[in-house]
Amino acid sequence: MKKVKLPLTVLFILIVSFEAISSKNSKPFQTTPWISPASACIIKSPLAGNTTAAPAGKLLYVKYCVVCHGNAGKGDGVAAPALAIPPADHSSVKVQSETDGSLYWKITTGRGAMASYKSTLTDQQRWQLVSYIRTLAAVKKIK
């Protein structure tokens, strides 16, 4: 038995050290900008102008999103410090300058710690969340 164990131990150490080296050298893919496809960005919200959408979205946001994105969407939820890539700040100009279609696509698709909500939430609920995210803008649009 001893004869088998030694080569196995050596193999194990080799695999573990290889993993450690390769994960140090490879950039985590999340550090690259997250860009929605143009075909998704041009999609208009079916709930545009619907005044009940944002309040409905708020209820969903509190239930599903606040844990990471925080109460005001600033990316400072209780789970945020544990994440390698910080949750997006939904009040930021960067997020607010994205189209409704782009935000909807990201909520639908997900990336890394940001899960896909395609099967958890209905299309309507995901658009309601987009409507609510608009109310979180730090710099409000003057209409």
Residues in contact with ligand HEC by CB under 6 A are 30, 34, 64-65, 67-69, 79, 83, 85, 87-88, 95, 98, 103, 106-107, 111-114, 117, 129
DSSP states along 44-89: PPTTTT-TTHHHHHHHHHHHHTHHHH-TTSSS--TTGGG-SSPPP-
CA dihedral 126, 105, 32, 90 (to 10 degrees): -40
Report which of 79, 94, 86 is spatially closest to residue 136, judged by C-alpha positions.
Answer: 94
> In terms of CB distance, is 13 or 118 closer to ligand HEC?
118
Least distance between ligand HEC and beta carbon 116 (Å): 10
Least distance between ligand HEC and beta carbon 4 (Å): 43
Least distance between ligand HEC and beta carbon 7 (Å): 40
Q: How far, CA to CA in Å, does 40 sit from each of 7, 19, 43, 88, 116? A: 52, 36, 6, 19, 15
> In terms of CB distance, is 6 or 84 closer to ligand HEC?
84
DSSP state of 91: T
Least distance between ligand HEC and beta carbon 103 (Å): 5
> In terms of CB distance, is 98 or 134 closer to ligand HEC?
98
Least distance between ligand HEC and beta carbon 141 (Å): 17
**Residue 88: other Cβ atoms inside 10 A:** 20
> In terms of CB distance, is 16 or 93 closer to ligand HEC?
93
CB 104 within 8 A of CB 95: no
> In terms of CB distance, is 15 or 38 closer to ligand HEC?
38
